[in-house]
Structure 1
Amino acid sequence: MFSHRLKLSERCSCTMHISHPNSVLLLLAVVCNLLVCLAGVSVIYPRDPYIKAEGDTLTLKCMVHYEPEKCKDIQTRWCGLNKEDRCIYLTNPSRYLIQVNETEEKEYRQRRIFVTFNSLTRQDTTYYQCNAVCSSGTEGKGHLVHLNVTDLSYFFQIFSLFFYYMKKFY
């Protein structure tokens, strides 16, 4: 086991105790808290791309950590890139169900933003990004996540090939 105290300023410090290989999640949480401390806001979500069939539902989840003292009023939104690579915010209530909840942890707040596509179409294929902007001008941007919406025949072709090769080898 090892311990390490990391101090960036009077308000930004932590002690890490790493005693097991699975402590990586704890380390990640510590790093995220330090990022919030330095920048005032951080945006976190998985990098994994999505492959879905037309008609499926999909929920994109985003977590925003921020310090209310540095970020009094915050706007958090998901957007999709259009053909000109401009970020178009997902706001249409007939297309998306948008849910937001927030919790407080000491001097930080954690906001979760969920956007649910009720019935995916091929036009939903693009890159998506979660963004947070404070009234002070501080902003946090997540990475781009790709969604590929295919028609059902694509999935049937893949399964047919899979079963063909399974029969062939077994």
Structure 2
Amino acid sequence: MGVRIIIGNIISLVAALFLAASCLVKNKRGIFLCQFMECVLLAISSVLFGSLAGTTTLLLSAVRNLIVARERYTKQMMYIFLVLTIVAGILANSRGLLGLMPVIATVEYTICCYYITGIKAIRCSIFVNMAIWIVYSFLILDFSTAISDSIILIVDLAAIVKMHHSEKALLSEE
């Protein structure tokens, strides 16, 4: 069991690099391609942590992120991913209320992927999503993801604040 947790944490650390890259990218396509890679790697690590609900929702998230990056994410696709996430997440859940956290996080971001278009709003949605995943990661012993996501959450918050100040400065110049 200990070796699986160590390997899972190593894979999660690599996934965190893709998430960090998504916080630095300045276009929607790049953000979602980085998040596609992050989700694939986190799905693999979730298998090692014994988190079937996490694995299921992360694989669906990876596919969703790829579709968003290719600009083929329609309202109908959003509904399909919502239903798949809820049904598959609940069926795969073996951890009670804890196992529902990946489902809740994925539902939140799935909806936001359709309705949110601006980079600042995407970053805010990532912030909420990551906060849920951080708590979940600590609880399943995925310390690598929990710690790196906490750091990235701070970086994302700094990017949001910077964007907000830039927007405010532009408005005051007008």
Q: Which structure is higher in helix share? A: 2
Bigger share in strand: 1
Instruction: Report the TM-score, using the length of structure 1 for normalisation.
Output: 0.32
